[in-house]
Structure 1
Amino acid sequence: MPASLRSPLAIILGAIPGALARYYATIFLAGLFGNDLPYATFLINFSGCVGMGLVVTLATQPALMSPDLRLLLAVGFLGSYTTFSTYALEVTSLWRMGQLGQGVLYGLGSLGIGTIGVLLGSLIARRLTI
């Protein structure tokens, strides 16, 4: 297989089961806990963050994880399972590099701008359908 196809293929092979895992976990958890609060999303995001921590830590030891497997798991599976895990990884990476202020700013800023983005998208959609 050409080297130029290895990375995209690894991501694709992880993304499909990641998306399906999120879908079925959401159905299962909503059935278990109800829909009063977004428990399913909360638990999926938490489990994705735990998974991201495991993957990136194991990936620092090449004997334990190849770069292709890291892409399959971190970018493909966890990327489609939850992007929150990537967000949390980036915040903690900034903190570990001694950039506490930037980590806090990025973390809170992403949360705020994401919420504003959802509201803006909803407003645009409503305007287009009226």
Structure 2
Amino acid sequence: METPLLLPLWIALGAIPGALSRYYLTLLCVQKFGGEFPFGTFIINLSGTFLIGFLATLFLSIKAGLPLNGFVIVGFLGSYTTFSTYALDTSNLLKLGNYRRALLYGLGSPVMGFLGVELGIALAQRL
């Protein structure tokens, strides 16, 4: 029987690689694409929403336990995705007068994120 007492440990263990993945992917994107547009946050949000849709659906179908769900969904993806940073990045783009980029980023992230979740769900249901 699974014990929910260890669940915070599983979440914490998942959060470490999630946060580090977010950090290094952001650095890589700034290095590769520059800092004019927050590509790192954009890519992380899109991949994170796809993964959460896919894995939540998959875990439900295979009846994954609390430790795996806590480690991956809450821990890893919870620290990997960056919607708080998304809001700050949108605000910063607006403050800098980059209205087109702010509009693309501000509206593109939730729309594409929703599509990512739906695509992840559809793919997991087909497996």
Gaps of 5+ in 2: 93-127
Residues 59, 67 of structure 1: 8 Å contact kept:
no
Residue 53 of structure 1: aligned partner: 53
- Specify the SS of the correspondent of 1:35: coil
Write out per-residue CA displacement over residues 26-78 of structure 1, whole angstroms, 9 at most, x where no aligned residue. 01111111111111110111111111011111111235x32210111110000
Q: What's the CA shift for 1:83?
A: 4.7
Contact kept? 2:11, 2:76, Cα under 8 Å: yes
Aligned-residue RMSD, C-alpha: 2.6
Q: Following the alignment from structure 2 to structure 1, what is the Cα–Cα distance between the partners of residues 65 and 4? A: 16
Cross-structure match for 1:30: 30
Structure having the higher Rg: 1
- Cα distance in 2, alignment partners of residues 58 and 70 from structure 1: 10
- Count the aligned residue pairs: 88
Greater relative contact order (Cα < 8 A, sep 6+): 2
In structure 2, the residue matched to 1:15 is: 15
Query: How far apart, CA to CA, are the structure 1 residues paired with 2:82 and 2:72?
Result: 13
* Gaps in structure 1 of 5+ consecutive residues: 85-110, 120-130
